[in-house]
Amino acid sequence: MFYVYILKSLKVDRYYIGHTKDLERRLTEHNSCKTRSTKAYVPWKIVYCEKFLTKIEAYQREMEIKSYKSGIKFKELFNRRVGRVPAFCGVKVVYPALREMWRS
């Protein structure tokens, strides 16, 4: 399985869209400052994700979401799902110091 995900910085009003095979590992990398484009905005939490069978499907969906980032479609997508990350995303530990924020 592959996932398309949207992260929201808990530090500033900033979003990141990506795709991965291992969502929990990827979130840990983002919150450990291992990703150059996101390290200045740590900590992050997952606010949206979708599941796909193939990497190409996930990549195509990532590009579709990025094409309307900050636009009306992005806001509609985000507002429908904000704070309701599906259980299938399987992320158990988001950022050890922020477990309480994850639950809210």
Q: Write the pLDDT tens digit of every residue in 55-91.
A: 999 999 999 988 886 677 877 776 665 455 666 566 6
Please tell me the total count of domains within the chain. 1
Write the CATH number for 89: 3.40.1440
Flag whether pLDDT at 95 surpasses 50: no
Note the pLDDT tens digit of each residue in 2-46. Answer: 999 999 999 998 999 999 999 989 999 999 998 899 999 999 998
What does pTM read for this prediction? 0.77
- Whether 98 has a pLDDT exceeding 70, the answer reads no
- State the residue range of the domain holding 45: 2-103
Residue-by-residue DSSP string for 32-101: TT-STTTGGG--EEEEEEEEESSHHHHHHHHHHHHHTTTSHHHHHHHHHHTT---GGG----S-GGGHHH
Per-residue tokens: 83: 């704070």
DSSP state of 15: E
Strand order from edge to edge, sheet including 15-20: 15-20, 2-9, 44-52
